[in-house]
Structure formats: structure tokens, C-alpha cells
């Protein structure tokens, strides 16, 4: 079945009280809009159209950086959901399949639910995603007659009897493209809000003798975010689900409520994630890895058996091979760390490639930035980097080489060589005792004087 997505994201989101458009507020490390796009992407749509309005340029950037193939159209005035959907018409010209309209501020719709919606659309002209609301509040009400949906009435326009209905509109609509735009053309703004309601497509379709029905989902899927409090509640709901998913995937979390996942975190079976670990976007952890307490990871990949932390920071572009070990107070960025290689204490490794079975001593720094440009450090297999080595990039350390502790390495080191660059040690016999005597006498004199 050919599908296209139209994601409405032009609204201001007044209740967020923010300069940032509502749909760009992050949930689990990704804008709300990206969650809606991801949910829709599970249908394999032929095209995705995002309708932007408030903060359109920022929304366009976010949409295109998630999916460069999507189209972003602008609704310059927000005249209602039907008017918003109408803006997608040109972008969908020539498309003759089913259009699914989603809201950019509704992040939790499941792919199975959208699949059911598309399936139902093959039997009915208009399909609406509905839910039984615990508290129907200001949602649009679905007026049913048996299995058939007669119309949707907005809260503002509803009679008391209609307000008593608990089956509500999620906002998600499925309809063939040509029919949808024909119906939208007929919608007026003659209602309590003076807006063009997309929900009117139902009544208009029925008036033409067409069929309309409802696919039901759980209320938790249709949760829309309107305020900071709702955003925080949605984050909590996301994290609860992500932790439950991790347990199902065979991951050990001794303190699950302290571990924070991103929208795309993947953790393999028999991995252990200790307390207070934060996953930013783009992390994959393979089977049997350990992330120790208080570590922060983003944009990185941990191979089998690797260990990170406690108190480690892995930044984007970090690639740990099997059994690699990153210890406490180590920061790694844009670096490939070979099999069994260890960076155990207090180091910064950035823009680097490290071979296998190499050991990096405490306090080592790859000096990758000269104030203007970034440079790479390359370290071979079986290398021993002495503690507190400064590796001034670009620099290459050959296989099985060594650097002496405290060295500042500015030129390449050949394989199997020892590189030392530090002031030679000198020794003055008895000098320490002389110095102590002198200094103590000085202090005593000062104390007498004061």
C-alpha cells in the first residue's frame, strides 16, 4: 500500500512559554517532531511532508537533518488543522495512495497502530484514530453509530450530550490523497473557534455517502505535549518504557530508575548498565559490555566485552573494539580504540586511532587542536604510552613503541622505539636537608617577628 505522511507542526505551542517552537523541544534526546516522523517512517511512506509555521526555519532544519528526503512546506497563518493539511497539497501532487495525517507534538503513536490504520483505510474512505479517554477534557468527540463514525465534534462546539462521549479524537487521519484534498476544499470555518477543522472531513464524507470508521488505540499513544509539565511527564513515560524494553532485551540495570536512555539507544543482551548512566543520541552497545556508574555516552559504539567508566565520557565518533577498556575520568571523542586496548585513568583521547592491545597511561592527552585546526593521532598495536604523555597531533606512534612518562611527543615515533622528551633528571646529594634547614629557620624567624 502506498502511503504518504503529513505531519502538522505549525502551531505556536503557547503553553510551552518558549522561544523554541514546541515541536523542537527534545524528548529522549530528539525533537518531538522526530518522534512523530520516526513513528510514521515505520510505514515506509513514499513521501513525508512536514507543515511548519512558527519557527519554520528551525523546524525545516530539524526535519531535514532527520530525513533529508522529506518536504517541508510553510503554513504562514495558522487557520486550523484543515488549513494546515491543505498546505501539503502541492508537495503530494501525483501521489495517489493513502495520506496519514499526524501531529508533530504527539510522539508516542506506535507503528502497529499506524499499520492497523492503513489496513482499515483499505475498507473505509476515512479512518480516524480514536481512544477512550479517562478524562475527555477538551478533546474532539467521536460520534458513532455502531461501527460507523458519523462525525467529530470539537469540545467548543459540542452539546452536553456530545461532551458526555468518552471516545475521543487523537487527530490522526487516514484517507486517500485525492479524496482528502477534495473534502478539505469544502471545509468552512463556521464554528466556535473560527478555524478550519480537519475533523470536518468525516461529516463531509458521510454526506457524500462515503464510509468512515475508527481504529482505537491506548490513550498513552495519543499523548500530546502542550506544556513543560506534560513534556516532563512524557519523558518519564518514555524512560519507563525504555527501561522495561532493556529488561526484555536481557540487559542488567541494578538501578533502572537512574539510567537515562535516548530515543535510539540500543543495548545488547547480557550487558550491564550501572546506576546513573546517561545515553545521549546514537549509542549502540553490543552483547556483554559493561557501562559503569556515572558515565555519559553519545554517538558511540561499544563492541562485545568492552568496559566503560565509572565516570567516563564518550563523545560522538567513539568506536570501542572488543574488550577495550575506558576507565575513570577519561574522555574519548572521534576515536577508534582497538581490541583489548586500555585507557584507564584521567585521559583525553580525541581524533585518534589506537591499535590493539595498547596501553595508555594515566593523564595522557592527545593535543588535537592547535587553536584553528584539528589533527589526528595514530597509535599502533602493542604500544605503551607512558603516564602524562602529551601527543601533539598530527603524530604517529609505531607498533610496539613506548613513550616515557611526562614526554611531549611532537614527532612520529617508529615501531619498537622508545621516545623520551623531557628534561633530564639531575641529583644534588644532601641538598634536600640543606633546603629544609634553611626554610624552617626562615619560618621561625617570621613567627618571632609577628
Q: Does 21 bind ligand UD1 (CB under 6 A)?
A: no
User: Using CB under 6 A, which of 95, 103, 279, 348 touches ligand UD1?
Assistant: 103
CB 103 within 8 A of CB 7: yes
Residue closer to ligand UD1, measured from CB, 10 or 293? 10
* Binding-residue pattern over the window 213 to 232 for Ca ion, x denoting contact by CB under 5 A: -----------x--------
Q: Does 81 bind ligand UD1 (CB under 6 A)?
A: yes
Classify burial at 45, counting beta carbons within 10 Å of its beta carbon; exposed 0-12, middle 13-18, buried 19 or more.
buried
CB 106 within 8 A of CB 39: no
State the DSSP H helix or E strand holding residue 408, giving kind and residue range, or none if neither: strand 408-409
Q: Does 397 bind ligand UD1 (CB under 6 A)?
A: no
User: Using CB under 6 A, which of 140, 305, 340, 361 touches ligand UD1?
Assistant: 140
Residue closer to ligand UD1, measured from CB, 15 or 374? 15
H helix count then E strand count, the chain? 9, 34
CA distances from residue 251 to 126, 256, 292 in whole angstroms, order as listed: 42, 10, 13
Q: Does 367 bind ligand UD1 (CB under 6 A)?
A: no
Q: Which residue is nearest to ligand UD1 (CB)?
A: 140
d(C-alpha 218, C-alpha 211), whole Å: 23
Residue closer to ligand UD1, measured from CB, 38 or 421? 38
Q: How far is the CB of 149 from ligand UD1 (least distance, A)?
A: 12
Classify burial at 429, counting beta carbons within 10 Å of its beta carbon; exposed 0-12, middle 13-18, buried 19 or more.
exposed
Residue closer to ligand UD1, measured from CB, 87 or 290? 87
The interface partner of residue 139, options being Ca ion, ligand UD1, none and the CB cut-off 5 to 8 Å by kind, is ligand UD1
Residue closer to ligand UD1, measured from CB, 53 or 355? 53
| Sites for ligand UD1 among residues 167-186 (CB under 6 A) | 168-171
Instruction: Give the position of cell 586511532.
Output: 353
Q: How far is the CB of 220 from Ca ion (least distance, A)?
A: 16
Stretch binding ligand UD1 (CB under 6 A), from 195-203, 229-237, 240-248, 268-276: 195-203
| Sites for ligand UD1 among residues 219-258 (CB under 6 A) | 224
Question: Of 296, 345, 375, 396, which is the active-site residue?
Answer: 345
Residue closer to ligand UD1, measured from CB, 171 or 305? 171
d(C-alpha 134, C-alpha 113), whole Å: 19
CB 13 within 8 A of CB 21: yes
Residue closer to ligand UD1, measured from CB, 200 or 298? 200
Active site annotation includes 66:
no
- Degrees to nearest 5, angle at CA 324 with 396 and 354: 10
The interface partner of residue 83, options being Ca ion, ligand UD1, none and the CB cut-off 5 to 8 Å by kind, is ligand UD1
Torsion of CA 242, 244, 245, 249, to 10 degrees: 140
Provide φ and ψ at 63, rounded to 5°: -65, -45
Q: How far is the CB of 35 from ligand UD1 (least distance, A)?
A: 12
- Degrees to nearest 5, angle at CA 305 with 300 and 309: 60
Q: How far is the CB of 213 from ligand UD1 (least distance, A)?
A: 16
- Residue 340: left if φ>0, alpha if ψ -120 to 50, beta else—which one? left
CB count in 10 Å sphere of residue 390: 17
CB 321 within 8 A of CB 337: yes
Q: Does 78 bind ligand UD1 (CB under 6 A)?
A: yes
Q: Does 11 bind ligand UD1 (CB under 6 A)?
A: yes
**What do you get for the CA distance between the two ends of the chain, in Å?**
93
Q: Does 60 bind ligand UD1 (CB under 6 A)?
A: no
Q: Does 75 bind ligand UD1 (CB under 6 A)?
A: yes
Length of the chain: 450
| Sites for Ca ion among residues 188-207 (CB under 5 A) | none
**Catalytic residue numbers?**
345
Which residues contribute to the site for Ca ion (CB under 5 A)? 224
Which residues contribute to the site for ligand UD1 (CB under 6 A)? 8-11, 51, 53, 75, 78-81, 83-84, 103-105, 139-140, 152, 154, 168-171, 197-199, 224
Amino acid at each position: 500500500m502506498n502511503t504518504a505522511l503529513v505531519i502538522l507542526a505549525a502551531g505556536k505551542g503557547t503553553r510551552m512559554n518558549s522561544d523554541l517552537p514546541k515541536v523542537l523541544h527534545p524528548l529522549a534526546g530528539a525533537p518531538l517532531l522526530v518522534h512523530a516522523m520516526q513513528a510514521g517512517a515505520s510505514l515506509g511512506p513514499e513521501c513525508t511532508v512536514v507543515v511548519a509555521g512558527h519557527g519554520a526555519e528551525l523546524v525545516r532544519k530539524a526535519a531535514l537533518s532527520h530525513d533529508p528526503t522529506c518536504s517541508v512546506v510553510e503554513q504562514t497563518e495558522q487557520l486550523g488543522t484543515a488549513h494546515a493539511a491543505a498546505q501539503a497539497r502541492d508537495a503530494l501532487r501525483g501521489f495517489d495512495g493513502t495520506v496519514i495525517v499526524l501531529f508533530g507534538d504527539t510522539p508516542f503513536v506506535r507503528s502497529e497502530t499506524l499499520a492497523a490504520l492503513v489496513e482499515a483505510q483499505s475498507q473505509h474512505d476515512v479512518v480516524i484514530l480514536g481512544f477512550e479517554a479517562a478524562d475527555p477534557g477538551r478533546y474532539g468527540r467521536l460520534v458513532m453509530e455502531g461501527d460507523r463514525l458519523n462525525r467529530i465534534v470539537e469540545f467548543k462546539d459540542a452539546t452536553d450530550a456530545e461532551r458526555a462521549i468518552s471516545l475521543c479524537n487523537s487527530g490522526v487521519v487516514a484517507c486517500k490523497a485525492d479524496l482528502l484534498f477534495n473534502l478539505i476544499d469544502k471545509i468552512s470555518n463556521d464554528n466556535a473557534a473560527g478555524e478550519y477543522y480537519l475533523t470536518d472531513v468525516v461529516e463531509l464524507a458521510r454526506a457524500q455517502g462515503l464510509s468512515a470508521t475508527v481504529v482505537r488505540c491506548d490513550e498513552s499513544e495519543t499523548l500530546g505535549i502542550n506544556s513543560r509539565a506534560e513534556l516532563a511527564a512524557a519523558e518519564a513515560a518514555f524512560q519507563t518504557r525504555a527501561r522495561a524494553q532493556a529488561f526484555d532485551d536481557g540487559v542488567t540495570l541494578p538501578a533502572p530508575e537512574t539510567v537515562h536512555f535516548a530515543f535510539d539507544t540500543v543495548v545488547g543482551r547480557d550487558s550491564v548498565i550501572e546506576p546513573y548512566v546517561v545515553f545521549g543520541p546514537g549509542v549502540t552497545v553490543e552483547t556483554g559490555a559493561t557501562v559503569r556508574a556515572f558515565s555519559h555516552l553519545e554517538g558511540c559504539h561499544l563492541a562485545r566485552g568492552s568496559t566503560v567508566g565509572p565516570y567516563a565520557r564518550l563523545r560522538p565518533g567513539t568506536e570501542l573494539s572488543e574488550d577495550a577498556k575506558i576507565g575513570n575520568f577519561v574522555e574519548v571523542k572521534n576515536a577508534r580504540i582497538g581490541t583489548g586496548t586500555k585507557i584507564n585513568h584521567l585521559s583525553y583521547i580525541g581524533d585518534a586511532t589506537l591499535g590493539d592491545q595498547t596501553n595508555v597511561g594515566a593523564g595522557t592527552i592527545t593535543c588535537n587542536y592547535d587553536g584553528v585546526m584539528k589533527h589526528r593521532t595514530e597509535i599502533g598495536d602493542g604500544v605503551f604510552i607512558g603516564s602524562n604523555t602529551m601527543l601533539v597531533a598530527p603524530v604517529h606512534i609505531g607498533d610496539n613503541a613506548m613513550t616515557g612518562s611526562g614526554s611531549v611527543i611532537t614527532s612520529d615515533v617508529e615501531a619498537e622505539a622508545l621516545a623520551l622528551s623531557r628534561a633530564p633528571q639531575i641529583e644534588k646529594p644532601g641538598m634536600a636537608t640543606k633546603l629544609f634547614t634553611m626554610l624552617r629557620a626562615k619560618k621561625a624567624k617570621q613567627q618571632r617577628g609577628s
